[in-house]
Amino acid sequence: MCAIFSQGKGWKCNKRIAKPEDNVAICDLQIANYMFISFMKAHNGMRPYDLAILYQIVLANHQAMNIELSRDLRISLSEVGNSINRSKIAGLIMSHKVQINTLLEFIQYGLPYVFPAIQGRISRGIITAQPLHGNTKGVSIDPLYPKVTEAIQENDKLYELLSLTDIIRVGKVREKELAIKLIILEQYTKI
């Protein structure tokens, strides 16, 4: 039996060619490649644009290709691939589908701590933490990633989800609760 061992836990396949103390083994090429891509890459924590990628996958009914995600979100193709890998490791994606309940739990309980929004000075920009469209003056917060303002210009649903996300990042308790309810409603009505 072959296995890839990591801190006492192993992944099994058909032939034994390694011991736990070897810390690595190779099965057949297909399994080894999958193991390397999915489990051997360092996680190094979630990135803010991972959330936009997860939203876009859900918006595309879990049918989005990496190249489409890259184009639509203005994120490099390699970063899209790395993001999907991080989301798999975090349990947010399984079998090429976003785990909606896990994502909602992360948004509700983890988002304000993992990606806090620090309010800046009064400036002109795109409204996010309010239900209005347009370019206006208000308290600024940094977007989840630099090119998000370009990506939302062509995608109203993504704009709505990211606006609700910003409410969760900066809002008061009642506003956050309403934003969570709206995201849940959007998720379960196929956005």
Residues 26 and 118 in one domain: no
> Distance between CA atoms of 187 and 176, rounded to whole angstroms?
16
Query: Looking at residues 1-22, what average pLDDT do you find?
Result: 46
- With tokens 């909606």, the residue in question is 100
Residues 100 and 35 in one domain: no
Residues 113 and 80 in one domain: yes
Residues 154 and 77 in one domain: yes
Residues 25 and 81 in one domain: no
Residue 44: closest CA among 91, 77, 87: 87
Residue 176 has what pLDDT? Answer: 92
Q: What b-and-e string marks burial along 58-73, b requiring 16 or more CB atoms within 10 Å of the CB?
A: bbeeeebebeebbebb
Query: Looking at residues 116-141, what average pLDDT do you find?
Result: 67
Query: Looking at residues 69-75, what average pLDDT do you find?
Result: 95
Residue 57 has what pLDDT? Answer: 95
Q: What is the pTM of this model?
A: 0.71
Residue 23 has what pLDDT? Answer: 47
pLDDT at 129 over 90: no
Residue 179 has what pLDDT? Answer: 92
Query: Looking at residues 35-50, what average pLDDT do you find?
Result: 69
% of the chain residues with pLDDT over 90: 40
Residue 68's φ and ψ, nearest 5 degrees, are: -70, -40
Residues 62 and 12 in one domain: no
- As for how many domains the chain has, the answer is 2
Residues 52 and 12 in one domain: no
Residues 57 and 148 in one domain: yes
Asked if residue 124 lies in contact with residue 109, where contact means CB atoms within 8 angstroms, the answer is no
Asked if residue 23 lies in contact with residue 35, where contact means CB atoms within 8 angstroms, the answer is no
Q: At what angle do helices 156-170 and 48-59 cross, to 10 degrees?
A: 140
Q: Which domain holds residue 108?
A: 45-191
Residues 74 and 139 in one domain: yes
Residues 76 and 157 in one domain: yes
Residues 186 and 129 in one domain: yes
Q: What mean pLDDT, rounded, does the chain reach?
A: 77
Confidence band for 120, pLDDT divided at 50, 70 and 90: confident
Query: Looking at residues 118-143, what average pLDDT do you find?
Result: 67
Residues 30 and 57 in one domain: no
